[in-house]
């Protein structure tokens, strides 16, 4: 059975309470179709909600359903414990949300930035005293020392000028290349320059914190109409990239939810098997070495051999230093 991310299930559980509060007596099949899951998953969600509630966790503190209706294959919510009502934010929560929305507004070229601006304005109007505190929050997406570089790259994207880059890869290899800038993107913690690389002959994503130097030239960037905009800031991984399968111990299940994986499958002992596609063998090597004994199996063999060589080299160096 595929591993479902925790955030997806929590979101569905919350939505399920709101859905059932408006539709008492909804058939299980109808609910499953609405949420795009199996009927068994809906029943599992209801069983989990049945033991969920507000602090105290006594019977009267728990979300409740009609058991008779449940036995007949329909769902009737009898006590939502207030979870069906609109969320009311505290001052600190409102400030945090306003700061996050303003960060989204600051992302250049972000689809739907006008929606974020509208939501920010409405939240600020409803936040009362918290709005003044939020106005004092200094939102900066660029890391230390990156502000000038981000500004230059943004200008190059706007003017459509070729950029000459000195760039250090994840393997610590420095290269120089000319690129046609397409977009500046951020994942909230790092900036990426999405550009057509003349050297590679395709679109590449360059982490701004790995750009050693960027010189905007007078040459006009070419047109690249066949390069659709990505949904997020992470690179589009092509078929030539490395696909690895890792069997992880139960305590390393967090990897499946923090690292972008292609598939995640539960193992009988509580562990998880993940398939991950990476553009950098060095990054994958560091991940496996960092997990240590929590990695039980690695495929393909070339990845396992690469990690083993690095581990032996590290041990040899430690012995030499000792």
Q: Per-residue pLDDT for 30 more than 90? A: yes
Percent of the chain at pLDDT exceeding 70: 78
What sign results for the dihedral spanned by CA atoms 303, 308, 309, 310?
A: positive
- Please compute the mean of the pLDDT values over residues 231-246 and round it to a whole number: 58
- The per-residue pLDDT for 81 is 78
DSSP 3-state percent helix, strand, coil across the chain (nearest 5): 45, 25, 30
CA–CA distance, 116 with 273 (Å, rounded to integer): 37
Extract the runs of DSSP E, i.e. beta strands, from 198-291: 202-207, 211-220, 242-248, 263-266, 272-278
- The per-residue pLDDT for 144 is 53
The mean pLDDT value of the chain amounts to 80
CA–CA distance, 140 with 120 (Å, rounded to integer): 17
CA–CA distance, 66 with 25 (Å, rounded to integer): 9
- The per-residue pLDDT for 88 is 66
Q: What is the DSSP secondary-structure string of 21-64? A: HHSTTEEHHHHHHHHTS-HHHHHHHHHHHTT-BSTT-SGGGB-E
pLDDT digits (tens, 9 = 90+) for 60-110: 778 888 988 888 899 988 888 777 666 666 677 777 777 777 777 665 545
Rounded to 10 degrees, what is the CA torsion of 56, 57, 59, 63? 120
- The per-residue pLDDT for 287 is 87
- Biggest CA pair distance of the chain: 75
What sign results for the dihedral spanned by CA atoms 19, 20, 24, 26?
A: positive
Work out the pLDDT band at 240, boundaries 50, 70, 90: very low
Closest by CA position to 46, among listed 33, 60, 32 = 32
């Amino acid at each position: 059975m595929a591993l479902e991310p925790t955030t997806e299930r929590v979101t569905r559980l919350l939505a399920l309470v709101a859905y059932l509060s408006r539709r008492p007596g909804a058939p299980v099949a109808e609910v499953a179709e609405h949420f795009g899951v199996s009927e068994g998953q809906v029943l599992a969600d209801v069983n989990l909600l049945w033991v969920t509630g507000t602090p105290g966790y006594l019977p009267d503190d728990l979300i409740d359903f009609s058991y008779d209706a449940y036995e007949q294959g329909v769902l009737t919510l009898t006590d939502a414990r207030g979870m069906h009502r609109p969320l009311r934010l505290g001052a600190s929560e409102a400030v945090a949300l306003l700061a996050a929305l303003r960060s989204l507004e600051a992302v250049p070229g972000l689809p739907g930035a006008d929606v974020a601006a509208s939501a920010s304005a409405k939240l600020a109007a409803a936040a009362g005293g918290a709005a003044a505190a939020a106005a004092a929050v200094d939102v900066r997406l660029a890391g230390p020392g990156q502000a000038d570089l981000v500004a230059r790259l943004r200008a190059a994207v706007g003017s459509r000028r070729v950029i000459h880059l000195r760039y250090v890869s994840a393997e610590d290899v420095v290269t120089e290349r000319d690129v046609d800038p397409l977009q500046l993107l951020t994942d909230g913690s790092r900036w990426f320059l999405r550009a057509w690389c003349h050297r590679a002959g395709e679109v590449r994503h360059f982490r701004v914190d790995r750009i050693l130097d960027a010189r905007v030239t007078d040459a006009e960037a070419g047109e690249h109409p066949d390069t659709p905009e990505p949904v997020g800031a992470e690179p589009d991984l092509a078929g030539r990239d490395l696909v690895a399968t890792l069997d992880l111990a139960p305590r390393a299940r967090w990897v499946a939810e923090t690292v972008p994986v292609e598939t995640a499958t539960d193992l009988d002992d509580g562990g998880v098997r993940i398939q991950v596609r990476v553009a950098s063998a060095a990054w994958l090597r560091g991940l496996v070495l960092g997990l240590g004994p929590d990695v039980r199996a690695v495929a393909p063999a070339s990845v396992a051999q690469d990690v083993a060589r690095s581990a032996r080299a590290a041990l040899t160096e430690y012995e030499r230093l000792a």
